[in-house]
Amino acid sequence: MQVSSRHIDTWLTLQSNLGRAPNTIAAYSFALRDYQQFCSDQNTCVDIASREQVSQYVRNLLNRRVSKSKGISSSLFANATIRQRITVVRLFYDYLIEEGLRTTNPVRRGNQFNNRNRRDIRAIVPIQHKMPWIPNEEEWQRLLAEAQGMSLRNRLMLTLAYDGGLRREELCLLNTKDIDPSHRLLHIRAETTKAKRDRIVPYSASTGQLLLDYLRYRRRLTSARGAIFISESSRNIGMPITFWAWSKVIRSLGNAAGLPRFSTHTLRHLCLTDLARSGWDLHEIATFAGHRNTSTTLIYIHLSGRELATKLAVASSVHGLRLEDISESLQ
């Protein structure tokens, strides 16, 4: 097991040196330590594990329940979680092959084509394409009612996350220098984004007033420039808010509203869906969201039901005219 640990540590250090985000490194480490523990329980070394061990690990993940601090949850691991774990294991074995420590990778790749008959090779864990969850109008009003009792900072973060369609990292890492109040614009820096691309997003006048009120309040906590959103607790006062602290706020809000599926990403999903409902062009939404590929943006077009609703209206019109024609002809 010591040899496996050394190779895992070396690979994680390599990924860190290549500039992978800290959250990515943490996810890699968690996945590999979990796989290493499974192999240890099977009396197998990670370095020499076979496809049989990998298949057993997949089965283990498919049957495993999500652990909670107060016991065992009734929910199984999400498809995306399982795929992420397996992808990390595959990348690690690619590294072992490159270093001459293995000759084959026990985790096969999916979405490839056989050169002879062009058949698709099925992924080891098939992708499940699920629409993101967003609250309906009644659920949204419940969330807003609960949010009224939140602190000024949290209310602004909630508003800005929706108004700008911001990811958790983009929101929490906003800096005072990223604000252009004269034009009501936010500069989303490349290093805080998933696609590593700068973008500029506008915010509304109501959000601007809330932002102005918060910045006045913030000056009473600290005069230092830097992170916009800072801790208000006596222990860490003036320190930048962490991702986990914001996630905890959102989780508490969702639970209070009776909506445990509400997450930090829900506000972004809702924003982009609302833009699609409002008739924004696909490429306009992609630019606003910072998507590299418009196929990602299409999710929100589909979720809005805009295209289907338009086609249904046309179909209903044609159907109605045909019925009138039949009625007139047969009477």
Q: What local confidence, expressed as pLDDT, does residue 136 receive?
A: 92
Cα separation, 20 vs 33, in Å, equals 18
**Distance separating alpha carbons of residues 38 and 147, to the nearest angstrom:** 42
User: Does position 113 have pLDDT exceeding 50, yes or no?
Assistant: no
Full DSSP string of 263-308: -TTHHHHHHHHHHHHTT--HHHHHHHHT-SSHHHHHHHHHHHTHHH
Q: What pLDDT is stored for residue 112 in this prediction?
A: 47
- Read off the pLDDT of each residue in 233-253 and give the average, rounded to a whole number: 91
Q: Say which range, 39-48, 228-237, 245-254, 318-327, has the weakest mean pLDDT.
A: 318-327
Compute φ and ψ for 140, nearest 5 degrees: -65, -40
Helix axes 152-163, 205-221, angle to 10 degrees: 140
Higher pLDDT, 313 or 195: 195
Task: Taking residues 246-274, report their average pLDDT.
Answer: 94
At 139, the pLDDT band (50, 70, 90 cuts) reads: very high
What CATH number does the domain located at 2-121 have? 1.10.150.130
pLDDT score for 21: 82
Give a three-class secondary structure readout of 152-202.
Answer: HHHHHHHHHHHHCCCCHHHHHCCEHHHEECCCCEEEECHHHCCCCCCEEEE
Whether the pTM exceeds 0.85: the reply is: no
- How far CA 172 is from CA of 98, 229, 254, 259, 307, in Å, comes to 38, 7, 19, 23, 34
Contact in structure between 186 and 178 (CB atoms under 8 Å): yes
3-state secondary structure of 240: strand
The reply to whether 138-260 shares the fold of 2-121 is no
**Where are the chain's structural domains?**
2-121, 138-260
What does the pLDDT read at residue 96? 93
pLDDT of residue 107 exceeding 60, the answer is: yes
Question: Which residue type, as a one-letter code, is found at position 121?
Answer: I
Residue 305: pLDDT band (50, 70, 90) is: confident
Rounded distance, CA 288 to CA 268, Å?
11
Query: What would the CATH number be for the domain defined by 138-260?
Result: 1.10.443.10
Return the minimum-mean-pLDDT range out of 74-83, 154-163, 228-237, 290-299: 74-83
Per-residue pLDDT, averaged over 120-149, amounts to 81
Mean pLDDT of 36-56: 90
What rounded mean pLDDT belongs to the chain?
A: 85
How many whole angstroms separate alpha carbon 153 and alpha carbon 159?
A: 10
